Chain A
Amino acid sequence: MWHKIIEIAGWFGEMRERYRLIKDFNNAAKIAFISGMAPTLLEAKITMGESSYKHAFSKFLGGGFRIKALSGRELKRHELIEIGRVVLDNGELVRKLISLGWDTLEVHANEGYNGAKWCLSEHANIGGFLPEQND
């Protein structure tokens, strides 16, 4: 029974981690927008994610990390990709996202129907478990 309680406490701890990451991202985006450094306001939120991108540690119905840009116009494909690539190039962030149960990175603007999504596990350089041995 006690290990169940500890398991539940661990689950809440992980959820807190997830929401803290989202809050940190949104705060940084807000500050960048208010100070005039960023031309668009970005907002991160948790979505369902793409079912084909699921991995062993994906959160049920919460595997999507969506970045929404309040751009006021339809963002071009290369602009969406650029935002996504910055996140994907940050190895520490990608690994943290995966470990906290996210599997999909989505980027879209508040106008238009264009969006881009990536499978996070393909960009985390996840290797095997044991180092290869030379025979």
Chain B
Amino acid sequence: MVLTITLILRKHFNGKKQLAFSNVEANAKKKAQSSTINMDNLMNSINSSSELYKELSRAYHPDRFIGTHLESKSKELFQEISANKRNYDGLCKIKERAKEELN
């Protein structure tokens, strides 16, 4: 009985290895299973993203750059700020960029 089970299992796993692209599929599956959600970012987003969003939308609102050479840049950044309204990490990155590009 044990021998039969061992043989069947061996056949099953050997058979899988011989299939073309089987490794590609296995790797893709493993990658999808191990894809971890960034929970720290999620917690930061729940607790702090709205304050950061308010701060950034106030500081880098396109109305503050009307008539300057930074007007189009500020519009672009403001769109990104709105798109990342509830993504804390995204907002932090935009903040760094805005400091470099708009100041």
Please list the residues of chain A having a beta carbon within 8 angstroms of any beta carbon in chain B: 2, 13, 17, 21, 24-25, 27-29, 31-32, 37-39, 42, 82-83, 85-87, 89-90, 92-93, 96
Contacts and interface: CB of A to CB of B under 8 A. Distances in A.
A29 B43 contact: yes
A83 B37 CA distance: 16
A90 B47 contact: no
Interface residues of B, number: 20
| Residue with the highest number of chain A CB atoms closer than 10 Å, among B33, B45, B47, B48 | B47
Given A2-B8, A93-B37, A96-B37, A37 B48 contact: yes
Interface of B: 8, 12, 33, 35-37, 39-40, 42-50, 85-87
Given A28-B42, A32-B43, A32-B47, 9 more contacts: A13-B33, A25-B39, A37-B47, A82-B46, A82-B50, A86-B49, A89-B86, A90-B42, A92-B37
Interface of A is mostly: helix
Nearest to A37: B47
Given A24-B36, A32-B47, A96-B35, A86 B8 contact: no
30 contacts: A2-B8, A13-B33, A25-B42, A27-B39, A28-B39, A28-B42, A28-B43, A29-B43, A32-B44, A32-B47, A37-B43, A37-B44, A37-B47, A37-B48, A38-B43, A38-B47, A42-B46, A82-B46, A82-B50, A83-B46, A86-B49, A87-B42, A89-B45, A89-B86, A90-B42, A90-B45, A90-B86, A92-B35, A93-B37, A96-B35
